Amino acid sequence: MNSLIPLVIGHRGAAGEAPENTLASFQLALEQGADGIELDVHMSKDEEIVVCHDPTLDRTTTGSGRLRAMPLSEIRRFDAGSWHSKRFQGERVPLLDEVFELVPEHILINIEIKDSYSGLMETKLLDVLRKKNRLNQVVISSFDAQCVRHTKELEPEVKVGILYNSFTNNHVQFAKKLGVELHSLHPHYQRIGKGDVSAAVAAGLSVYPYTVNAIEDIRKMIDYRVSGVITDYPAKMVELLKQS
Ligand code: G3P
Ligand code: CA
C-alpha cells in the first residue's frame, strides 16, 4: 500500500546522530518521530540474533573479530557507543529481542538479513518473531534473493522485500522474476524515477528507497510518492514533512 505521505524510516536507528544499530539510536529515532526503523542482523556462535551491520565487531565496537565466531556473552562485553562519542558510552550490541522490548508495535521494523548463514538465520529469526508475537510488525529484506525466497517459504504471513543497487529499466519485471511474493522494493534511491515508483505501487508493491540523507533527495522521494524513505536523519525528514 502507498500513501501520499511516505513513512519516515530511521536507518540503523538515527545513524546520522547516534551510534548505528544501538538501542540509543533506535530510541532517538522514535523520539524524533520516525514511523519505522531499519536494522541489520547477524548471528552469534551460540545462534543468538544480534543487531550489527558488519560481520565483525571491529568498526562499531571496542572489540574485534567475527560475530559468528563469538558467543553472545563475549560480544556483550564490548562497548558499541563510545566510538561515536563519549555520550553513548555503555551501549552494547543489542539482541534482536531487546529491540522489541523498546520499540512499540505500531512502529515498522525493517530487518535486513546480512548473512543467511546457510538458511539458519531465516529459521532463527522467524522463531524470535513468533515468540515475541511481532510477525506483523516487520518487513524482512535482504540483497540475497534466495534468502528472501526462503524466508517467505518458511513463513508465508511475513512481509518480505528485496534490496538492490543495480540499474533496471523495469522494476516490476525485476521483482516478478525473483519468483517470490514481495511486499516491497528497497532500491538505492539513485536507481529509481517517479515512473518506476508509480508502476511499482500500481502493481501492489511498496517502495522504500535507501539511504536518503540530503534534504533535496528526501524532497525528491516525497515527490515520487514512495511508500517510505530510509534515512540516517529521521528528524530532518519529519521537519520537512511538517513544512509541506
Ligand atoms: O536497508 C537499506 C540499507 O541499509 C542497505 O544498505 O549497507 O546500509 O545495510 P546498508
Ligand atoms: Ca541495512
pLDDT digits (tens, 9 = 90+) for 152-189: 999 999 999 999 999 999 999 999 999 999 999 999 99
Structure confidence at residue 3 (pLDDT): 54
Give me the percent of the chain exceeding a pLDDT of 90.
98
How far apart, in whole angstroms, are the C-alpha atoms of residue 118 and residue 140?
A: 17
How far apart, in whole angstroms, are the C-alpha atoms of residue 182 and residue 167?
A: 19
Residues 13-43: tens digit of each pLDDT: 999 999 999 999 999 999 999 999 999 999 9
Other CB atoms within 10 Å distance of the CB of residue 38: 28
Structure confidence at residue 80 (pLDDT): 98
**Domain positions in the chain:** 7-36+106-243
User: Rounded to a whole number, what is the largest CA-CA distance in the chain?
Assistant: 49
Q: Are 200 and 172 in contact (CB under 8 A)?
A: yes
Structure confidence at residue 91 (pLDDT): 98
Residues 188-229: tens digit of each pLDDT: 999 999 999 999 999 999 999 999 999 999 999 999 999 999
User: Does residue 231 have its Cβ closer than 6 Å to ligand 1?
Assistant: no
Q: What does pTM read for this prediction?
A: 0.98
Pocket test of ligand 1: the residue of 20, 53, 112, 160 to mutate, having most ligand atoms within 8 Å of its CB, is 112
Give me the percent of the chain exceeding a pLDDT of 70.
98
Structure confidence at residue 118 (pLDDT): 98
Q: Is the pLDDT assigned to residue 1 strictly greater than 50?
A: no
User: Does residue 188 have its Cβ closer than 6 Å to ligand 1?
Assistant: no
Q: Are 218 and 234 in contact (CB under 8 A)?
A: no
User: Does residue 40 have its Cβ closer than 6 Å to ligand 1?
Assistant: yes
Cell readout for 81 is 557507543
| Nearest atom of ligand 1 to the alpha carbon of 112 | 1
Structure confidence at residue 219 (pLDDT): 98
CATH 2.40.50.100 holds for 7-36+106-243: no
Structure confidence at residue 244 (pLDDT): 84
Structure confidence at residue 4 (pLDDT): 67
Structure confidence at residue 171 (pLDDT): 98
Other CB atoms within 10 Å distance of the CB of residue 137: 19
Question: Which residue in 42, 53, 171, 188 is the catalytic one?
Answer: 53
pLDDT band at 2 (very low <50, low <70, confident <90, very high): very low
